[in-house]
Amino acid sequence: MEEIQLSNFQKNCQTIIEAVNRSHKSILITDKGKLLVKIVPVSSSEQDSWLGCMNGTGEIVGDIVSPVEDPKVWEVLSE
């Protein structure tokens, strides 16, 4: 796995992130020899799976328009 100094990452952030995305290989960011961060590319299954993953699983049960509580309990609803 490739290691990049923090100062180099700061100067070339966009280029490095694009390279990680293209190569699908992780990069370690270090500062003075100490590991700070690991940049990992997102897999295609992760990109597609979370958005819309619950589509079609909801079910409306009962009345969704009327207040849950009796209007007499709430001053705002009784006006």
Query: Which of residues 53 and 5 earns the better pLDDT score?
Result: 5
- pLDDT tens digits, one per residue of 18-49: 999 999 999 999 999 999 999 999 876 655 66
Report all structural domains of the chain as residue ranges with CATH numbers, in order of start. 1-43 (3.40.1620.10)
Contacts of 19 (CB under 8 A, 6+ apart): 27
Is the pLDDT score of 59 beyond 70? yes
pLDDT band of 54, cuts 50, 70, 90: confident
The answer to whether residues 70 and 61 touch, using CB atoms and an 8 Å cutoff, is no
